Structure 1
Amino acid sequence: MDEIGQKLRTARIEKGYTLDDLQQITKIQKRYLIAIEEGNFDALPGDFYVRAFIKQYADTVGLDSDALLTQFQQDIPDTQPQEYVEQSVESKTRATRAAAASPANKMRRHLPQIALAVLAVIIIAVVYFITWRASADNKQAIPADSSSVVVSSKKEPSVSKSSAAKNTASASSKASSSAVKKSSSSKKSSSSKTSDKLSVAVGTDANSVQAVTVKNWPAKSNTVTLAAKDSAAWVSVIINGTTTWQGSLSAGQTHTVSLPDGTTAFSVKSGNATATTIKLNKTNVDISNGTSIVRTINFTTESAGN
């Protein structure tokens, strides 16, 4: 095994990455990663890719890529920029982008929204028609002659002024009591909502690891929402040493993971932490006080009763 490849492989293992993990983060094919670790640079598509892939590999596993390329400069072939131009990813995907921007594809993408709009109009029309029919059926006919009106000649029994005053005072007392109860209930509800809000304390980034403590953690129905801001990011959620979800998020994309009831500790691993945002339930977690691009964020929770 080549010396530079051995150094990269050792750094990868120390980071806890498999070749599959590295392929997900760097988007470099696994067979090329194996070739780099074995020093078999002839297996790569061109001399330019040798330096580019080694640099990306080194940055991902936490090595100084520029120093590494300088140290092993004699072992790495010179770059040939024309090969990169010919095999550029941008040129390969230009045809795909042009096809996606065609009017037919745009129309096809908007078909679900159009169908929903038409369905909403139909539902509104049906509800309006049913309401109109019900209103028409409930109209009461006015009596044709006065014979249908019955007037009672009996007088209502008189009620003493003292009894009426007592009834009025009793009703006023009940209304006041009800208002006090509602006010008390409202205050309790407001107090409960305030105490249930998550309290998040984020530590600083140390050796690509960041600790977060969460207080007022509910016992169940918790979620963690992951998003990529202005660039793509590979992210995974780990609970009790098991990866619950992993995937690559494009810029502006979000993904929500439901945590099992009773979860008190979990981790989020990101291949591009500076572009990754995290939200617990409805509370944002600020992980900006870190500089590591590849980072593991460990969450420890405390319930509201602690």
Structure 2
Amino acid sequence: MSIGNSPEDERPFADVSSEEAPSIGHVLRQARIAAGMTVDDVSTATRIRIAIVHAIEADDFTPCGGDVYARGHLRTLARAVHTDPAPLIARFDAAHGGRPAPTPAAPLFEAERIRPERRGPNWTAAMVAAIVAVIGFVGFTAFKGDDADKTDQIAGGATPTPSASTTAPTPKSEKLATDLQPTPSDDAIAAAPLDKVTVRVSATHGRSWISAKDHNGRLLFDDLLKQGQSKTFQDNSKINLVLGDAGAIELWVNGKKLDNEFKAGAVERLTYTKGDPQAG
């Protein structure tokens, strides 16, 4: 018999004193029972392991792996059983010393967007323009020479004979111009400067809680990323990531997509620098 469907799970707790508010785990358990859900149901809906759900309902947050993970699990579980997560997070913070204030990421990215980039001469465009000019000159010269030959034949009374080939051979310079056409890179993403580390996190296969910090340890993001949503983080030297459900995530680091085979439900701690892509 599944541990989530045990009849003992559904027995109500003993009466709680009116002078003492029910615990976080008690509130979540009662909300789950009121919603008609078993622990198995909640685990399936949130992708949080059954053992962790049981521990949280018993007010044991040790299996969560830290306060940051515990907040993410509380928020996800509360939404799954249709209760407001804000009071539970506030009570957890009060009991565990509060949470670090996140550093607003928007001003940093805004400053990076408006900073003018230093661009060198576009040698590719200059080379293509020169090749086009050469092709035009060669074509014009060949056309004028052909007209002059035909004029001489008519003036001498000779009937012009059709040429074995009615099309002029393609000059080598034209083939060179075709070979120089730039092709788009399959691994490129928008704006990945070489002097910074840029990490894009995309919840492609499901939702996952995400935490991101810069090289100083300042919190850039700490929340649930729903399926289909993406976040991009940028720093001068290093980005630290924690993925609550790494199997749901795809990563792009410094313009290249990573082929990491993360398992569903696995928690991954990753660090990336300007020299990557590879996990730190």
| TM-score, length basis structure 1 | 0.34
More helix by share: 1
- Structure number with greater Rg is 1
| TM-score, length basis structure 2 | 0.36
